[in-house]
Amino acid sequence: MRRPPPPFATGKTMQKIRQKPEDRVWKDFAADEQITPEQLEKFKTYAHLLLEWNEKSNLTAIKDLSGVVNQHFSDSIQLRKKFDLTSISTFCDVGSGGGFPGLPLKIIFPHLKTYLMEVSGKKRQFLQHVIDTLGLEDVTLIDLDWRSFLRCTTEDIDLFVTKAALHEDELIRMFRNTCPYKTSQLIYWASDEWEADEKATPYIKEVLPYTFRRKERKFIRMSL
């Protein structure tokens, strides 16, 4: 007589099975990404604040430590493997949300003057709290939307970065002749299935593939 199948695992059960112990999460992160002890302490504090604030504010759909470290922290700093961030002095994270990729990059490259563009007041409040708690310097919050920022500001920014906060046809507004940021560069996080909007094609200078957690992804570098 055949035995009945085991009861189906609930979402909570599967989550418990898949979660790594906290110390293992941080040990693997430090080893994989060559994180210094000082940087690691900042990331630990950042993760704690993110998960704490996320219980009352919608900062991220990822609610477990391993997911935050892998999908937010590690993925954000993969950029350094494809683009020399020591060659620039300023960058702006467009649609920063919970601080990705801007704050992880700032922790790794503290020399960078950093701008975090976020229209949500609650998210800006969280970002300011993280900045103050970590003691990060030269970080400016911008409460303008993308079009208003391009129209109303003239900051000295070498590089714009964004993790799919806006569509390419919006992002390429920065390359218009009248825009003060037309000589800056833009790097856009994209999935392997991403296909360029035809309006953005003339500005794409490099497609930089990378593998992250066994998934194929791309950095799209745009400029004039």
Q: What pLDDT is attached to residue 61?
A: 93
The residue count for the chain: 224
Q: What pLDDT is attached to residue 213?
A: 84
Return the SS3 of 29.
Answer: helix
Q: At 221, phi and psi to the nearest 5?
A: -100, 125
Question: Is the CB of residue 159 less than 8 Å from the CB of residue 90?
Answer: yes
Q: What pLDDT is attached to residue 18?
A: 61
Q: What is the chain's pLDDT, residue by residue, as a tens digit (224 residues)?
A: 445 554 444 444 444 446 789 999 999 999 999 999 999 999 999 999 999 999 999 899 999 999 999 999 999 999 999 999 999 999 999 999 999 999 999 999 999 999 999 999 999 999 999 999 999 999 999 999 999 999 999 999 999 999 978 999 999 999 999 999 999 999 999 999 999 999 999 999 999 999 988 899 999 999 99
Q: What pLDDT is attached to residue 73?
A: 98
Task: Name the burial class of residue 11, with classes exposed (0-12), middle (13-18) and buried (19+) by CB atoms within 10 angstroms of its CB.
Answer: exposed
Q: What pLDDT is attached to residue 13?
A: 43
Q: What is the pTM of this model?
A: 0.90
User: Domain coordinates of the chain in residue numbers?
Assistant: 82-222
Q: What is 82-222's CATH topology?
A: Rossmann fold (3.40.50)
Q: Give the DSSP letter of residue 203.
A: G
- DSSP states of 84-131 as a string? -GGG-SEEEEET-TTTTTHHHHHHH-TTSEEEEE---HHHHHHHHHHH
Return the SS3 of 19.
Answer: coil
